[in-house]
Amino acid sequence: MKIVVTVKQVPDPNSNLTLEADNTISREKEVVLDPGDECGVEEGLQLKEAHGGEVILVSMGPERARDAIRKGLSMGADRAVLISDAQLAGADALLTARVLAAAIKQEQPDLVICATESYDGSTGMVPPMLAELLGFPQLTFAKKVEVAGSTVKVHRQTGDGYQVVEAATPALITVTAAIAEPRYASLKGIMAARSKEIKQVGLGDLGVDKSEPAETIEGVVDAESRKAGEVIEDDGTAVEKIVQVLAAAKVL
Amino acid sequence: MASILVYAELNEGKVASTSLELMAKARQLGDVYAVALGSGAKAAAGVLGKHGAKAVHVSEDSAFDDYIAEPATDALAALYEKEKPDLILFGFTSDSREVAGRLAARLGVGLISNANDVTAKGGGFVVKVPYFGGAKVASMKANAKPAIVLVRPKSFEASETGGAAEVKQLDVAIAASSKRAHITERVAEASEKVKLEDAKVVISGGRGMGGPQNFPLLEDLAAALGGAVGASRAVVDAGWVPYSMQVGQTGKSVRPGVYIAVGISGAMQHTVGMKTSKVIIAINKDAEAPIMKMADLGVVGDALKIVPALTAAVKAKKHG
């Protein structure tokens, strides 16, 4: 079974994001493999361990995204494809999905695994676009995945429980953080990752033209911010104070 | 006049509240019609008419209930070819974004997601998108035709106009090739007491709660106040509580009378889902936590002591 896992390098969620002068989110600081993608890699590896096959990481990003890819390879993925092209800076969701689809089509996988959403953008728009462009069904919000022959079955998290969703492969699944606890890379894995292939391709190699973005940014302003209220140390009277606020808000 | 198509998401045959919020905004932008797919669509048309839809395209084909995203994408693509709306509005919910994503890719037009306002300008549309945790708002001109925009829940207030929509049967044959991701079973887990989105008081817990074993303290307080319990993404990811409790950018958006953030630092991903609450109370051991800068009342202290004491005080006041 051939499994592609999409991965992305993101600013470290444990550090505070900062803005550049042009109001874009700084990507120059500490960067890591997206924690959601780590779960995707883990699930891919577990499926490979159960059913055999190959786990291929596919990423779009600058040259330095190799560090994040290397992390996935250290966990045990077999090889990787990095789509890197200066023209892709600031790519919107559709362009991102188009280049990922072009690279993934060359691999002809049975299963594509994406995180439900990235940690930095958190819009979750790329996976359904990617599924459409690949011509695959999408099995989303998976907190559990089972493969039997050419059928993939997931437990899809919903607001009040879950749905059992089935499809024939090839298919795209998105996984939540509940799917699997990502393994730590062993020293052996880290050593082995050094010699694993990261194939780098550009837009020309994929035969993708840069598309017009869906939007033009006209301006950025500060949102109306809430004013900070009163901050008190709890000296034993905090509960009484909270009760007063609840009463004033007429919820008590 | 611009024509606006609203994708009315149905949950167990009922129009999602987010879709009705979209109707209120769409009425200000042009001629509004809606599409409702799956069981309950015809009844939904009546509700959508009351909220200002001139016409509602309906199909009760069970494929819309039983298969993820693809049948709805087929229907919307066919409807787009026929009606050529200028703008298609979706709620930024997990179900709607899957359909919107496929549709945008199929039409090759892209989309704008996570919006909290749309205005008409110069024959086109300008969309406001909060980012950087809601600290910044970008104004984006939609370039594509149709413009596809996904709007955050609770961005607008739904209101009835009392109209009646013309109900139009949508004749679209769903091909077998689109019946693929098959929902074979639905399992209910949480018996929700008060729905998080509708609660007048929301008490959310984060890492500062110390562990899932302490969440019952929040449940007790919620029960005393008649509220609901939410959580930050950090503790959902850590597996302490289910995803259905997540408040934030991709979790639920809430706008209660009072929001009590317990042991939540106030990461951007979280605050964008709750910052429009009328009153915010934060309980945190860290006086410097970002949540303290947006709270009406910030209490620096031990949540595990304060919350049970607060529950007792609330009970005493109610019965006293």
Closest CA of chain A from B293, distance in Å: 5
Half-sphere exposure of B210 (CA within 13 A, CB side): 12
Determine, for residues B136 and A216 on separate chains, whether the beta-carbon distance falls below 8 Å.
Answer: no
d(CA B28, CA B24): 7
A229 interfacial to chain B (CB closer than 8 Å): yes
Q: Assess contact for A71 and A35: CB atoms under 8 A.
A: no
pLDDT tens for chain B, residues 1 to 320: 899 999 999 998 999 999 999 999 999 999 999 999 999 999 999 999 999 999 999 999 999 999 999 999 999 999 999 999 999 999 999 899 999 999 999 999 989 999 999 999 988 999 999 887 677 899 999 988 999 999 999 899 999 999 999 999 999 889 999 999 999 999 987 655 688 888 999 999 999 999 999 999 999 999 999 999 999 999 998 889 988 899 987 788 898 999 999 999 998 889 888 988 999 999 999 999 999 999 999 999 999 999 999 999 999 988 86
Relative to beta strand A9-11, strand A31-33 is: antiparallel
Determine, for residues B137 and A138 on separate chains, whether the beta-carbon distance falls below 8 Å.
Answer: no
Determine, for residues B101 and A168 on separate chains, whether the beta-carbon distance falls below 8 Å.
Answer: no
Q: Assess contact for B165 and B45: CB atoms under 8 A.
A: yes
Residue B300: predicted pLDDT: 96
A129 interfacial to chain B (CB closer than 8 Å): yes
Q: What's phi and psi for A64, nearest 5 deg?
A: -75, -5
- B22 CB neighbour count, 10 Å cutoff: 31
Q: Is the pTM of this model over 0.80?
A: yes
Closest CA of chain B from A143, distance in Å: 10
Mean pLDDT (10-residue bins), chain A, 252 residues: 96 74 73 92 98 97 93 98 93 94 98 91 91 98 95 91 96 91 94 96 94 85 83 92 93 88
Determine, for residues B182 and A19 on separate chains, whether the beta-carbon distance falls below 8 Å.
Answer: no
Residue A22: predicted pLDDT: 77
Q: Assess contact for B35 and B57: CB atoms under 8 A.
A: yes
d(CA A19, CA A9): 17
Residue A11: predicted pLDDT: 82
A-B CB pairs within 8 A amount to: 272
Determine, for residues A234 and B142 on separate chains, whether the beta-carbon distance falls below 8 Å.
Answer: no
Query: CA nearest B302 in A: which residue?
Result: A234
| A79-83, strands of its sheet edge to edge | A198-201, A79-83, A54-60, A2-7, A111-115, A171-175, A138-148, A151-158, A161-168, B182-188
d(CA A22, CA A229): 31
CA distances (Å), B143 to each of A59, A132, A221, B127, B146, in order?
A: 27, 21, 21, 11, 9
Rounded to 10 degrees, what is the CA torsion of B153, B84, A125, A174? 100
Indicate the SS3 state at residue B308.
helix
Query: CA nearest B312 in A: which residue?
Result: A239
pLDDT tens digit sequence for A147-194:
999 999 999 988 778 999 999 999 999 998 888 889 999 999 999 999
Token pair belonging to B48: 């959508």
Distance between first and last Cα of chain A: 58
Determine, for residues B139 and A157 on separate chains, whether the beta-carbon distance falls below 8 Å.
Answer: no
- B67 CB neighbour count, 10 Å cutoff: 21
d(CA B297, CA B279): 8
Residue A150: predicted pLDDT: 96
Residue B192: predicted pLDDT: 55
